[in-house]
């Protein structure tokens, strides 16, 4: 597996990978859990939201970067992160791994790559977040294996 810097030709495949990775969360988890009214307001345009977000992830002028994992059969995943040099802090924004490459240490390699890049840019601490639901359980397990400390949080929604 090769981990390389983002190039503009990656935009379309990374956008599609992001949508495919997170579709089960939005459609199979969040929508049924919250109901149609809350889903529509909170994440009704989630695909378009990702199209916009992924296009803005790699912006070195804002200290925001993307690295892509490639195997012989194409893109296996990617990680996006940012660094605030003055605060000595980094933040992983998105981690997405294709379904066929999960459980093959792609996420681990991408996170370790991002962590090292953050260190070289002056970060001493990294923030990485995920959900507390069943869909995000593999991400929580990965982050714990990487030595990250969980901060319990709760988010509530209510239709008005």
CATH class of the domain comprising 2-145: alpha beta
Asked if residue 57 lies in contact with residue 114, where contact means CB atoms within 8 angstroms, the answer is no
User: Which residue from 80, 31, 87 is spatially nearest to 53, judged by alpha carbons?
Assistant: 80
Alpha-carbon distance of 83 to 146, in angstroms, equals 19
| pLDDT for 63 | 97
Alpha-carbon distance of 95 to 77, in angstroms, equals 8
Q: Tens digit of pLDDT for each residue in 59-80? A: 999 999 999 999 999 999 999 9
Q: In sequence order, what are the beta bridge partners of 71? A: 74
pLDDT tier for residue 140 given thresholds of 50, 70 and 90: very high
């Amino acid at each position: 597996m090769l981990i390389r810097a983002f190039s503009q030709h990656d935009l379309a495949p990374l956008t599609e990978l992001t949508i495919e990775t997170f579709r089960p969360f939005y459609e199979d988890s969040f929508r049924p859990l919250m109901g149609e009214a809350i889903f529509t307001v909170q994440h009704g345009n989630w695909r378009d939201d990702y199209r916009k977000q992924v296009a803005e992830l790699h912006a070195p002028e804002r200290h925001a970067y993307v690295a892509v994992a490639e195997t012989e059969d194409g893109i296996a995943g990617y990680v996006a992160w940012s660094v605030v040099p003055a605060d000595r802090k980094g933040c992983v924004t998105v981690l997405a791994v294709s379904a066929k490459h999960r459980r093959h240490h792609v996420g681990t390699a991408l996170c370790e790559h991002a962590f090292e890049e953050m260190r070289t840019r002056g970060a001493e601490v990294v923030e990485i977040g995920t959900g507390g639901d069943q869909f995000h359980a593999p991400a929580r397990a990965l982050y714990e294996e990487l030595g990250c400390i969980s901060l319990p949080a709760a988010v509530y929604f209510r239709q008005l």
